Amino acid sequence: MSLQRRRQTTSAWLVLCVVVFTVGAGFGAQAELAPGKFYEIVGGKVDARTYNGFRRYHGSCNHCHGPDGMGSTFASALVDRLPDLEVFRRNVRDGVRSGASVMKGFADDPNVAPYIDDIYAYLQARADGALGRGRPERLEN
């Protein structure tokens, strides 16, 4: 094989390797959370926190606030006007009174209190329109 032919073959392989590794690195890269966002969605799949928030929400909150945070005759929709995180934490921990409507506090509930931020991440993704209704698929670790 001539020297020129060998250089062309080597150059072609080098270019191919660079392309393969660059594309591969892009697929394996972890997406960063947008500022102020508590959820991560990649390819329609959610991170562990958001998935756990979905589970916790539907275990304790959907009875009043409706499936997927859409509201019901008992309580308002949470995806229409999601408060900021600190207000949300306080409302969930301490409860809320609004006229004749009362939501009990969940500060002592071991199925809710430790997971308030996870529930918020799920509701934030729903409120932003980044996550549709129904059980989301979970990102693999």
Digit-coded pLDDT (tens) for 54-110: 999 999 999 999 999 999 988 999 999 999 999 999 999 999 998 888 999 999 999
pLDDT value of position 19: 35
Q: What is the largest CA-CA distance in the chain?
A: 89
| Listed range (21-30, 77-86, 114-123) with the worst mean pLDDT | 21-30
Reduce the DSSP state of residue 97 to 3 states and report it. strand
Given a cut of 50, whether residue 22 has pLDDT beyond it is: no
In DSSP notation, 12-29 reads: HHHHHHHHHHHHHHHHHP
Q: Is the whole model's pTM more than 0.95, yes or no?
A: no
Given a cut of 60, whether residue 50 has pLDDT beyond it is: yes
Strand duo 45-46 + 96-98: pairing: unpaired
Mean pLDDT on 33-52:
90
Closest CA to 30 of 48, 16, 15, 18: 48
Tokens in use for 71?
Answer: 């509201």
pLDDT value of position 130: 95
Mean pLDDT on 2-6:
53
Reduce the DSSP state of residue 138 to 3 states and report it. strand
